[in-house]
Amino acid sequence: MLRTVIIATGNPAKFQEIKDIMGRYGIAARMSDIKVGVREGTLSYEENARLKASYVTARLGVDAFGEDSGIEVPALGGFPGIISARFIKGTDSDRNSALLDRMRHLGPSDRRAVFKACAVITFVNGAFVSGYGELSGRIIDGPAGENGFGYDPVFVPDGQGRTLAQMSPREKNDMSHRRRAVEAVLEKYVAYLKDGIDRK
C-alpha cells in the first residue's frame, strides 16, 4: 500500500465504502477511533468534510480523510441537503418516511433527487485537497431493499430499475456520488504524494 489514511467518520457503512474505493488506489484506510468532536455547520459539504478531517489531523498529527454528503430534492428547494442525516431525530427509516411524506403530493417529474458528496484530505502542514461527486436519480413511493444505509432504499439512480439498497455494495460503489468524490480527491492526493513535496 502507498499510504494509510485515517478516515474521520463514525459511520461504519460509509467507512466500508470509502475503504473499498481507496483500496483500488493502493491506499489503506483506517477508521478514526477518536470521536470526531466537531459540530457540523450548515455551510457546505466541503466545509463540513474539511472540519472532520482537520480535527483528526490536528489530534493525531496524520493525514486524514473527511467526507460529507447528503441528498437534495430540487422540488423541495434542495431539502434535506446538508441536514440529510439529522433533519428529524430517529433512524434512517424514520427519515425516509418523513421525506416520503413531504413528497406525497409531488408528481413523477418532481421526484428527481441528487446525492452529493465532498471528500477532503487534510495534511499536517495545513494544506488540503478536495473532490466532489454527484449521483442523479429519483425518489420512489416506498422503500425497497436491505443493503446500504440512509436513503438507499428510496433512491433509484438514473438508468437503473432498482434502488441502491437492492444493489450489491460493489454495484453501488461503482456509480455512487461518494465514489466520484473519493476518486477525485485521491487523484489529487496521489499526485501530491508523488510530487515528493516536503509536507512537514
Identify which of residues 171 and 193 has a Cβ nearer to ligand IMP in the complex.
171
Residue 167's Cβ-count burial label (10 Å; 0-12, 13-18, 19+) is: buried
Helices (H), 62-141: 92-102
Q: Does 150 bind ligand IMP (CB under 6 A)?
A: yes
H-run or E-run covering 150: none
Q: Are 116 and 136 contacting, i.e. CB atoms less than 8 angstroms apart?
A: no
Q: Does 68 bind ligand IMP (CB under 6 A)?
A: yes
Q: Does 96 bind ligand IMP (CB under 6 A)?
A: no
Identify which of residues 61 and 151 has a Cβ nearer to ligand IMP in the complex.
151
Question: Position 163: which residue type?
Answer: T
Residue nearest to ligand IMP (CB): 150
CA distances from 15 to 9, 20, 93, 108, 139 (A): 7, 9, 20, 33, 24
Catalytic residue among 33, 63, 68, 174: 68
CB of 190 to ligand IMP, least distance (A): 23
Q: Which residues have a Cβ under 8 Å from the Cβ of 129 and sit 6 or more positions away?
A: 120, 121, 185, 188, 189, 192
Residue reference for cell 470526531: 36
Q: Does 137 bind ligand IMP (CB under 6 A)?
A: no
CB of 11 to ligand IMP, least distance (A): 6
The three-state secondary structure class of 34 is coil
Q: Which of 133, 143, 148, 157 binds ligand IMP (CB under 6 A)?
A: 148
Question: Is 68 among the catalytic positions?
Answer: yes
Q: Does 85 bind ligand IMP (CB under 6 A)?
A: yes
- Catalytic (active-site) positions: 68
Positions that interact with ligand IMP (CB under 6 A): 11, 40, 68-71, 84-85, 115, 148-152, 164, 176, 178
